[in-house]
Amino acid sequence: MNKNAYSDLPLSDALAQLEACTSQPFECAQPIPPALNHAQSFLAHEHDVIFSKEWICIGREDEIPNPGDYLTHEVAGVSVLIVREKKEILRAFVNACAHRFACLVPGNEEDNTSSKGTAKRFTCRYHAWTYGLDGQLINAPYMKMKEGFQLSDHGLRQLQLSTWQGFVYVTLASETIEPPDQRLKTLTNNVVGRYDMGCYITVLRETMIWNANWKNLIGNFTESYHVPMAHGETFAKHEKPLEEYVCGEDNNHYGYHRAAQKSDTGLGAAHPKNQRLSGQWRRMMVDFCVFPNHLVTLMPDYLWYISVQPKGTDQMIATWGVAIPPEVFDDIPKAGYEQWVSEFKHYMDIANEEDKELVEALHIGTRSPLLPTGTYHPLEKNLWQFTKYLSRMCRGSP
């Protein structure tokens, strides 16, 4: 960690800055106080009141389509095991054995936070306790030697899991929290439901680690003001005049903006066989953030999502993926599928590179204790809505 003027700021000071910043109306508001990206105290607070309490997107339902398919993913430092128990039943568990808590399913070699596979049951490498896909303990060698030991008392620790539009969310919260489909009802009904993201087929899942605070990425993704200047090789080609963007209503759980691109054919436009979208929605992009950390660029012909978490104040880890609707998928020749995916990944890699330098620049610039006042462009309203969300969560009222 690079120490700077904000690193040791007491939490009460960080919260006071957040309060002061969100007490202004948007028109005269200033950007997120730089201290919030660097104070260790605020990072710990985010861990407690946001990442340990909220729904965190861990990927897409169709990544584990069959009974026995599983994924592991880290949520707020906790390794989580997500399993498809039956055709219609997904479950989430803390990925730790119920005996002496060894990590049950190891992460992959490159990135110790996530792995994917298929299993009939899960056996701990330590003393071979074995669990069914429902998390129940089904075998524990030699435990008959312990009087009164009951398998049924020692299942895996289950977590709340919920799905919305093909996305899978898990929360570490022990109290019941309102599911995403309730929280996102107006977003679904008024804006994104017409795309039917649930039918999109996932074709990519990747991880990236950048040297920036996680909120720097949220700030970058929730505004399209930078697109014409920063994304010359990628998104700027969709030709969406900034004057035509619309920022969505204030909501406690999401923020979005949208704009229609010029062309009604090619990348970013609906496939001729798409019967879900009509009128200008056939060339409409919706960029939305499900608070706190799930970012989606939704197009008629693909979606790109990111789920970002902090790895310290000055590093973030993000899982990102791409999914495409069935009519686009069906058009890809079977023999050319790998090639198609690798070209799409290349396109997204360029877009990510375009953003990476800028997101890391935000982090470097905000280290300074001496800064001008700062301001927002009108198209940065989603970032303001996110800051208000942050403030509500820090006050304990989502």
Contact 41, 14 (CB under 8 A): yes
Which residues within the stretch 264-323 sit at the binding site for ligand FES (CB under 6 A)?
Answer: none
Instruction: Choose one: 81-89, 271-279, 349-357, 364-372; the region binding Fe ion (CB under 5 A).
Output: 349-357
CB of 96 to ligand FES, least distance (A): 8
Using CB under 6 A, pick the residue from 78, 102, 103, 348 that binds ligand FES.
102
Handedness of CA 221, 227, 232, 233 (dihedral sign): positive
Taking CA atoms, 134 is separated from 81, 96, 154, 266, 303, in Å, by 11, 14, 12, 45, 31
Contact 5, 367 (CB under 8 A): yes
Q: Distance between CA 276 and CA 200 in Å, rounded?
A: 12
By CB under 6 A, is residue 94 in contact with ligand FES? no
Q: Distance between CA 125 and CA 120 in Å, rounded?
A: 15
Which residues within the stretch 49-68 sit at the binding site for ligand FES (CB under 6 A)?
Answer: none
By CB under 6 A, is residue 99 in contact with ligand FES? yes
CB of 140 to ligand FES, least distance (A): 7
Which residues within the stretch 350-379 sit at the binding site for Fe ion (CB under 5 A)?
Answer: 355
By CB under 6 A, is residue 100 in contact with ligand FES? yes
Residues contacting 194, CB < 8 A, separation 6+: 276, 277, 281
- Please list the residues that pair with 308 across neighbouring strands: 318
Instruction: Choose one: 3-11, 121-129, 291-299, 330-338; the region binding ligand FES (CB under 6 A).
Output: 121-129
Per-residue DSSP letter, 286: E
Using CB under 6 A, pick the residue from 6, 55, 93, 129 that binds ligand FES.
129
Q: Distance between CA 30 and CA 14 in Å, rounded?
A: 15
Q: By CB under 6 A, how many residues form the interface with ligand FES?
A: 8
CB of 107 to ligand FES, least distance (A): 16
Stretch (H or E) spanning 389: helix 381-394
Query: Between residues 343 and 353, which has the closer beta carbon with respect to Fe ion?
Result: 353
CB of 101 to ligand FES, least distance (A): 6
CB of 142 to ligand FES, least distance (A): 11
By CB under 6 A, is residue 105 in contact with ligand FES? no
Contact partner at residue 129 from Fe ion, ligand FES, none, CB < 5 to 8 Å by partner kind: ligand FES
Interface contacts to Fe ion, rule CB under 5 A: 355
Binding residues for ligand FES (CB under 6 A) = 97, 99-100, 102, 124, 126-127, 129
